[in-house]
Amino acid sequence: MHEPVLVLNANFEPINVCTTRRAVGLLLAGKADMILNGRGHIRTVKELIPRPSVIRLELQVHRPRPHVKLTRREVFRRDNYTCQYCGKREGGLTVDHVLPRHLGGEHIWTNVVAACPHCNHRKGGRKVDEAHMRLLHIPKEPPASAMYIFGRHVGEYNEWGPYISGW
């Protein structure tokens, strides 16, 4: 009952991922329709309820455009879990400010990168060129597309692919 279910808006735009329990509640309340049943059924005393994989809301939900929150995990994900100075893919990554905060650098997408502890210590509180280092990629804000936001689920739930890739 805790498997993820893709929730689509009335115009088939992906808007959320919820649990099977929540999805079944929306279906029984008549607030959503089941689009894809790829997981069998839930057996109750009186009936068999299909276990949804993708549902679509009956009414259009108007919401602001999504954006990716600046978190440690999202910085690592944007940088593909790779140190942006040496290119190593090892555990224990840290977040480094390209222009250190004490020199006026802000905590924004274009100023933070993933760095291994060795490179972060080597750079210290200096600018990149002062430390004689260079970035592998220029940091930028990741796209707020449905593929970026929900794409991590596509590998595990292949049936979601057509609904996510179209947006």
Residues 81 and 40 in one domain: no
Query: Does any domain span residue 130?
Result: no
Domain of 42, in residue numbers: 4-65
167: pLDDT strictly greater than 60: no
Residues 83 and 104 in one domain: yes
Query: Does any domain span residue 12?
Result: yes
Cβ-count burial of 60 within 10 angstroms (0-12 exposed, 13-18 middle, 19+ buried)? exposed
Residues 51 and 91 in one domain: no
Residue 119 CB neighbour total at 10 angstroms: 21
- For 41, the enclosing helix (H) or strand (E) is strand 41-43
Residues 17 and 35 in one domain: yes
Residues 54 and 89 in one domain: no
Query: Does any domain span residue 90?
Result: yes
Taking the model in full, what pTM does it have?
A: 0.71
Residues in the chain: 167
Q: What is the total count of domains within the chain?
A: 2
Residues 38 and 86 in one domain: no
Residues 31 and 80 in one domain: no
Residue 143: pLDDT band (50, 70, 90) is confident
Q: What is the mean pLDDT of residues 150-163?
A: 75
| pLDDT tens digits, one per residue of 25-83 | 999 999 999 998 877 788 888 888 888 999 999 999 998 888 889 999 999 999 999 99
| pLDDT tens digits, one per residue of 84-140 | 999 999 889 999 999 999 999 999 999 999 999 999 999 999 999 999 999 999 999
The token duo for 32 is 């959503």
